[in-house]
Amino acid sequence: MTRRREFNVFSLSFLDIMSCGFGAVILIFVIINHGSVAANQAANLDLITTAAELQRQLQEEQQLLLDLQKNTHQLADQTTSAAQLSELLAQSIIELETRLQDATGSDERQVILIEKLKSELAALEQATTSKQPEMTVDDDPGASLRSISGDGYRQYLTGLNIGGKRILILIDASASMLHQSIVNAIRLSLAPEEQKKLAPKWRRAVSTVEWITANLPPDAEFSLVAFNTALIPLVDDNVWIATSDKPAVDSALDNLSALVPTGGTAMFPPFELINQLSPRPDNIFLIVDGLPTQGENPSNRTVISSPDRAKLFSAAVMQLPATIPINIILFPMEGDPLATPSYWILAQRTGGSFISPSKDWP
């Protein structure tokens, strides 16, 4: 008897078909998923690039915003400063206007005051003229040795003591007396002699001697000596001449006017002269512009410091007698700061006077 064949739905063929179907499905899924991943990666890359660009733009905008805020603060500060400056300028304008008004009022008041003073001065001059006795002409040459412009006895203003029986006048005639500036003194020392004689500083020194001689006592004697590194006597024949001897006085002053300043300065010769004179002077006038540049013995040094000059001066002062007053008339020279205190001490120690006159004296 023939066996009937049984039908099984899960046969090998069926399983093969199912496996192939599943495999196909998986393969399709893998292919589709790979495409999605690639597409997503490309999209993500674009998004990242866009995001980075947006981040960069955001940073630039933030920096621009910070710069704008900073500029805003600066403009605000400048506006405040400008407002303050404007306020200060306004206040200054108001103050200037006030001062101008005050000055205008002051000028008017000063004009009124000047006119009032002029009237009072005219009244005083008229009263003085009416009360002043008639002046008689004095032919005595000792009363006024030379004609000097200005008020006669100005020693009351200067403090100089013009008195004495024998008066010695010493005047520095070195090249430094040409000018108060070292450079200009050197320049003038190379000029012609006539130009040296007309140097303003030297003319002031000569005028000072003329003023002293014009105010000497009529019964006194005097001597006039110039010096640089040596003595230059300006009095003819006798050491002492009477102030009443007008021709001798004029001759001495003419010799001084013809003198040309030159050379350095040494204080040993004039100070030694004071001890050698017989009889000795009882009043001395020393017209000088600074401390000495030479000592007792000649030196070839072209440059000397201020302390060294002070040492030379101190050594020369040791020769002076302590009982004779020395009146110092100093025309200061630049670059010599120790000259003023040194000569002031000398005047105080000897009982003399010290002045450093203005450019319009005497």
Report the chain (362 residues): mean pLDDT per 10 consecutive residues.
55 71 79 64 74 85 86 80 74 70 62 69 62 43 48 48 89 94 90 92 94 91 94 83 92 94 93 89 94 84 84 91 90 89 92 86 73
- Which has the closest alpha carbon to 245: 264, 211, 221, 281? 221
Query: Which residues have a Cβ under 8 Å from the Cβ of 355 and sit 6 or more positions away?
Result: 158, 159, 160, 328, 329, 330
Fold adopted by 155-355: Rossmann fold (3.40.50)
pTM of the predicted protein model:
0.59
Spatial contact of 340 and 330, defined as CB atoms under 8 Å apart: yes
In this predicted structure, what is the pLDDT of residue 27? 79
In this predicted structure, what is the pLDDT of residue 132? 47
DSSP assigned state of 163? -
Q: Is the dihedral of CA 126, 129, 130, 132 positive or negative?
A: positive
Length of the chain counted residue by residue? 362
Q: Where are the domains of the chain?
A: 17-129, 155-355
Distance of CA 96 to the CA centre of its chain: 30
In this predicted structure, what is the pLDDT of residue 230? 93
In this predicted structure, what is the pLDDT of residue 165? 92
- Report the C-alpha gap between 142 and 263 in whole angstroms: 35
Distance of CA 205 to the CA centre of its chain: 26
